[in-house]
A and B are shown apart, each in its own frame.
Chain A
Amino acid sequence: MNPTRKMWVIFGGALALYVLIVMLIAVIPAIDLSHTAPGPGVQPLTPLHVQGREVFAGNGCGYCHTQQVRPLTEDKVFGRPSAPGDFSYQTPELLGSERTGPDLTNVGKVKPSDVWQYIHLYDPRAVVPQSIMPNFRFLFRVVDQLPAGETAVPLPAKFAPAHGYVVPTPQAKALVAYLLSLKQQPIPGYVAPAEAAPAAAPTAAVAPAAAGGYAYDAAKGQALFEANCAACHQASGAGVPGAFPPLKGNAAVASDDPGLHLRTVLHGASGVVIDGVKYSSVMPPFAAQLSDADIANIANYERSSWGNHGKPVTAAEVATLRAGSK
């Protein structure tokens, strides 16, 4: 073989083989996957959400946050496993590869309050003291006079600027609108694999425990409160003035009738007046995530902490309220 021929044979062969493999392993599957039909209820993004998504990608939120839920037990806190149809309108895709912060697939459900999102973006440590997320103050403006139609972000005094009002820029508004739109759509007839799979360890006797055998577990109550509630009501129970009510000394928590307390946790609330302050931000419902025993543990933790002395509740009471208000 002449030397130049030899060169073309080796390199041409290596190139052709590679192109073949790439077609089979990447391009052809990608053509097929690009035609995945949208899942039930999955809608195209509105222009505002598209803009918010650009702010998200441009500021690299995707390097710390994934948007995919795996079919693993550990991922259940983030929602049901992601389905192919969830990503139909997600171009560029933002599935991500690292979870320095939590998955955001369902953040619109977990933190439905725009006020929380604004405070958190302005300074994550104002609501989550241990957070290592950077602040995004550059998405806000500080003004001396509140422009008509704007609301100031109700920051805790420690985190607020010395004077003036903090208002979100249009980018921040678009970003928060996008974040609040992140909610998985239910898939009719879907059963979580962990529950469906026969191999999964039987999580024995949830029902009997809920019915009668409930005993308050203080450590569990505290852990659940810190995981689900402290971001808004704060670990100290003091809340964030003007945004999230304190649970320390709260009437609903102190009341012998646990109705309001438990209903708020089960079904969420918004626009309620507490202690003369009207809260326009949203409290998310927890009925879907938390079992009766979990909710009872949280409620009892709240009722016995920060100087509160509310009458203990039982899991059975939670079950009754859950059933009654359906």
Chain B
Amino acid sequence: MAAAVQGAGIADRDATQEQTSEQDDRALAAVFKAYTISATCWLLFGTAVGLLLAFKFGAPDFWAEKYLTFGRLRPIHTNSVFYGFASIGLVGTAFYVTARSCGTRLYSTRLAWLGLWLFNIAALTGTIALDLGYNWGDLEYREWPWPIRLVLLAALLVTVWNLLATIARRASHDIYLSNWYIIGGFLWTCVICLVAILPWYQQGLGQVAISGYFMHNAVGMWFTPLALGLFYYAIPKVLNRPIYSYALGVLAFWTNLVFYPMLGGHHFLFSPLPWWLQTTAIICSVGMLVPVLGGSANFLLTMRGRYHGRIESYPLAFLFIGVLCYLVGSTQGTVEALRSLQAVWHFTSFTVGHSHLTMYGFVSFAVWGAIYALLPLATGKNPGRLGVATHFWLALVGMSIYVIALSIGGTLQGLDWVRGVPFIQSVAEMAPYYLWRGVGGILMFLSHLVFAWNVWRMTAGKPGNAPSPIMEPEGAAA
């Protein structure tokens, strides 16, 4: 089995596989390119809004007009980075990974374009609706009016159909691990969308149960499996060696499936939700250590002995940080879910730090790493070395400042409440931490501008001088 996997996992175009025609390759590259460019636009828009939000914590009267008020821009930030940037970026790369790991062409390019349109229509109309004040109850990540969320569901269905049909065309008997995670993520997310829309069980407290379920299933059963799917392909690919353990990957898949869906209740610890639901969520949050440690160990062991390569190869550096933040962020989540610590951290900015450590450090770095590793293979154009390095360091330093500032500030905020000081004092004490968050945010945003430049060079512009993302196989290099 390992040999087959190695073949599927590594080769860009491998002699043992069905030969795809040049025309098919060009079509696949065009799809990958278009999704990446679209994701980049949403990244720039969404994080410009994020930066403005961060600024508003220090200057609440700045741009407080109706269409620029904090409460309308905040869901625009979260939804556009979720469904615009991260989702479209992951989906475009997933097309490439699935087709390549199956050694076949994409089942339908037309469906891929249709999917791109649907994702963009949803994100665009969603943004407009939120700005006009059509917000469904401030229910995080499902604020869009339901017809718009149906468009998103349609995008998912069209895409998963396309991917399944691609996998059905594969030459080998095995289905490479990446595709387990990618298809799993799509199928589960269709269920998530449907459960979040149907109204019959969403009255009062019933809806609270669904909100808890939705918030962490959207991140845990959509972004997480897709990002992991990219890791399973891109890391072996860049390193030019097989994944350390196939079996560990399968174990992580099934344990992820069992534990993740059940931990949603941890968003409402100490709420009037039934105590058993909250306790199950806590137990499963601890159970999540199995897939998290298993998955991370698998990736890190695949990189074993090639650590110096992380510096030489920036795609690998991005992927490495992604793995690390997956490990650290998820472990942080487990600790956060324990009742004694929730009592301090719940409702504070500490949670916002966790959101960015995971969604930024893990998911966004995974997207960037996979794009830097794979897009040049598809288009034959490398970005500039300096550009990629600048993106990496700005994003990493910026995110670290952001997360550390909010982790410290959020903890102090929580302790203030426990000590029972007047609420407004806890607000005033956060000021320096909000400021540092903004400083980190500026670096992060600058890094996105550099990323956009790099994407331009990998697609339409003049290619740069970065070396091929694929490293020399062991022994070959001096």
Contact = CB atoms under 8 A, between A and B. Distances in A.
A132 B271 contact: no
Contacts of B180: 10, 14
B175 interface: yes
Interface string A38-71: 0000000000000000000111111110101011
A3 B171 CA distance: 9
Given A84-B272, A97-B347, A226-B422, A61 B71 contact: yes
A92 B138 CA distance: 8
Interface string B132-169: 01111111100000000000000000000000100110
Contact of B209 (A33, A92, A124, A137): A33
Contacts, number: 243
A136 to B, nearest CB: 7
Contact of A15 (B188, B209, B346): B188
Contacts of A11: 164, 183-184, 187
B351 A223 contact: no
B270 A57 contact: no
Interface in A48-107: 57-64, 66, 68, 70-74, 77, 81-84, 86-102
B264 A134 contact: no
18 contacts: A18-B188, A18-B257, A21-B262, A26-B264, A29-B274, A30-B202, A30-B207, A33-B201, A64-B71, A68-B272, A70-B270, A82-B272, A92-B138, A125-B60, A132-B58, A132-B427, A134-B61, A223-B422
Interface stretch (B62-70, B240-248, B311-319, B457-465): B62-70
A8 to B, nearest CB: 9
A218 B271 CA distance: 37
A34 B347 contact: no
Nearest to A27: B201
A124 B60 contact: yes
Interface in A19-37: 19, 21-22, 25-27, 29-36
B173 A130 contact: no
A93 B348 contact: no
Contact of A25 (B139, B280, B417): B280
Interface in B198-253: 200-211, 213, 215, 221, 253
A236 interface: no
B170 A3 contact: yes
B242 to A, nearest CB: 20
Nearest to B134: A58
A227 B423 contact: yes
User: Which 5 residue pairs are nearest across A and B when measured between Cβ atoms?
Assistant: A60-B71, A92-B137, A34-B206, A62-B138, A227-B422
Contacts of B172: 3
Contact of A59 (B71, B195, B257): B71
B261 interface: yes
A63 to B, nearest CB: 5
B258 interface: yes
A83 B272 contact: yes
Contacts of A137: 64
A58 B211 contact: no
Q: How large is the interface on A (under 10, 10 to 19, 20 to 34, 35 or more residues)?
A: 35 or more
A102 to B, nearest CB: 5
Contacts of A27: 195, 201
Given A57-B136, A82-B272, 11 more contacts: A17-B257, A25-B277, A31-B201, A33-B273, A63-B70, A68-B272, A90-B204, A95-B208, A134-B56, A134-B61, A136-B69
Contact of A98 (B70, B352, B423): B352
B1 interface: no
A133 interface: yes
Nearest to A61: B71
A136 B168 CA distance: 56
B72 interface: yes
A49 to B, nearest CB: 15
A92 B135 CA distance: 10
Contact of A26 (B74, B210, B418): B210
B267 interface: yes
Nearest to B418: A74
B138 A94 contact: yes
Interface residues of B, number: 83
Secondary structure dominating the interface of B: helix
Given A3-B170, A87-B204, A60 B69 contact: yes
A294 to B, nearest CB: 12
A131 interface: yes
A84 B203 CA distance: 12
A163 interface: no
B191 interface: yes
B191 A19 contact: yes
A143 interface: no
B57 interface: yes
A14 B173 contact: no
B261 A22 contact: yes
Given A22-B261, A97-B347, A138-B69, A30 B187 contact: no
B175 to A, nearest CB: 6
A218 to B, nearest CB: 16
Contact of B139 (A59, A74, A93): A93
B453 interface: no
Interface in A130-152: 130-138
A277 interface: no
A135 B60 contact: yes
A61 B75 CA distance: 11
B427 A130 contact: yes
Contacts of A62: 71, 137-138
A87 B204 CA distance: 5
B428 interface: yes
B49 to A, nearest CB: 13
A36 to B, nearest CB: 5
B204 A36 contact: yes
A92 B261 contact: no
A16 to B, nearest CB: 10
B228 to A, nearest CB: 14
Nearest to A12: B187
Contacts of A192: none
A61 B264 CA distance: 23
Contacts of A22: 191, 195, 213, 261
Contact of A95 (B271, B351, B421, B424): B271
